[in-house]
Amino acid sequence: MLFSQAWAQATGSGPGGMDLFGLLPIVLMFVVLYFLMIRPQAKRAKEHKNLLANIAKGDEVVAGGGMLGRVTEVGDTYVSLEIAEKVEVKVQKPSIQLVLPKGTIRKAN
């Protein structure tokens, strides 16, 4: 016989094939991304939404740009802040960043 016998090779993932171990690093990257970036950001957004929903007249707040004021009127999209005696400004609700403890803002003599 001039030709030797050829045997079929076992089927398995070759160098170009995608198997479970090839997908593992990608899955791990998405899990790490979720716990380090997506979950904390969603938690912060939920806390900010609750903060805006619970704003009431008389609260002392910090608005965008660091403006301190006392809430005098609450609307659906806007809030009126008294930033000085007889000086009121309207700001959008989402620009409120922080609700301060009562008595934080003191009047100057």
CATH of the domain at 81: 2.30.30
Q: Please check whether residue 52 is in contact with residue 94, taking contact to mean a CB–CB distance below 8 angstroms.
A: yes
pTM of the complete model = 0.69
Give the tens place of pLDDT for each residue, 26-60. 999 999 999 999 999 999 999 999 999 999 999 99
Total tally of structural domains belonging to the chain: 1
d(CA 90, CA 98): 16
Q: Is 9 a domain residue?
A: no
Task: Identify whether 105 is part of a domain.
Answer: no
pLDDT-derived band at 2, boundaries 50, 70, 90: low
Range of the domain at 72: 21-100
Of 68, 99, 63, nearest in space to 78 by CA: 63
**SS in 3 state form for 19-60?**
CHHHHHHHHHHHHHHHHHHHHHHHHHHHHHHHHHHCCCCCCE
pLDDT of residue 8: 66
Task: Residue 96: name the closest of 43, 75, 107 by CA.
Answer: 75
**57 phi/psi in degrees, rounded to 5:** -60, 135
Please check whether residue 15 lies inside any domain of the structure. no
What's the whole-number mean pLDDT along residues 58-77?
A: 94
